[in-house]
Amino acid sequence: MPIQKIAAACALLCSAGFASSALAGVIAGTGGTPSSSVMGTTDATTYAIAESGPGHSLVVPYFTAQNGQMTVLHLVNTDLNNGKAVKLRFRGANNGDGLLHMTVLLAPGDVWTGAVTAGANGIAQLTTADATCTSPRLAPGVAQAFVTERLNPLWTANVQANHTREGAIEAIVAADIPAAAVYGTGQQERSALFTAIRPVNGTAPCTDAALNAALLEDTSAEATAASRGLATPTGGVAGTWYIIDVPNSTTFSGAATAIRAVNNAGRNARGNYVLFPPTAQAVTAPERYTADPLLVSAGFATRVKNIDGETSEPTNAAVIQARYYDLPDLSTPYYLPAGERNARRTAGDLSAQLAATEVMNQYATDPSISARTDWVLSMPTKRYSVAYDYSQPPAVARVYSVVPPSDLGSQYFSGDDTQVKTSPESVCSQWNLTYFDRQTSTKLALSPVVACGTVATLGFQEAGRSGVSASITAQPRSDAFVSGWASIATNASDGRPIIGAALLKLTNPNATPGVAGNYGLTMPHMYKAP
- Provide the pairing of β-strand 250-255 with 526-528: unpaired
DSSP code, position 229: T
The pLDDT of residue 22 is above 70: no
Give 369-419 pLDDT, tens digit per residue.
889 999 999 999 999 999 999 999 999 999 999 999 999 999 999 999 999
The pLDDT of residue 247 is above 90: no
DSSP code, position 396: G
- Provide the pairing of β-strand 474-476 with 455-459: parallel
Percent of all residues in the chain with a pLDDT value above 70, rounded to a whole number: 94
What confidence tier does 289 reach under pLDDT thresholds 50, 70, 90? very high
Sheet containing 386-388: give its strands across.
311-314, 302-305, 398-400, 386-388
Structure confidence at residue 154 (pLDDT): 96
Give 424-474 pLDDT, tens digit per residue.
999 999 999 999 999 999 999 999 999 999 999 999 876 555 567 778 878
Output the CA–CA distances (angstroms, integers) from residue 364 to 254, 283, 374, 408, in the order listed.
Answer: 19, 48, 9, 41
Report the C-alpha gap between 389 and 455 in whole angstroms: 17
Report the C-alpha gap between 361 and 254 in whole angstroms: 15
Report the C-alpha gap between 530 and 525 in whole angstroms: 16
Q: Are 442 and 434 in contact (CB under 8 A)?
A: yes
Structure confidence at residue 83 (pLDDT): 98
Buried b (16+ CB within 10 A) or exposed e, 198-230: beeeeebebeeebbbbbbbeebeebebbbbbbb
**DSSP calls for 99-138:** EEEEEEEEPTT-EEEEEEEE-TTS-EEEE----SEEES--
Beta bridge partners of 255: 240
Which run of H or of E encompasses 197?
helix 192-197
The pLDDT of residue 5 is above 70: no
The pLDDT of residue 178 is above 90: yes
Sheet containing 144-145: give its strands across.
144-145, 124-127, 111-118, 69-77, 237-245, 250-255
Beta bridge partners of 172: 57, 87
The pLDDT of residue 27 is above 50: yes
Using left for φ > 0, alpha for ψ between -120 and 50, and beta otherwise, residue 33 falls in: beta
Model-level pTM? 0.94
The pLDDT of residue 40 is above 50: yes
The pLDDT of residue 118 is above 70: yes
Q: Which ranges in 470-516 belong to alpha helices (H)? A: none
Q: Are 428 and 419 in contact (CB under 8 A)?
A: yes
Report the C-alpha gap between 262 and 150 in whole angstroms: 34
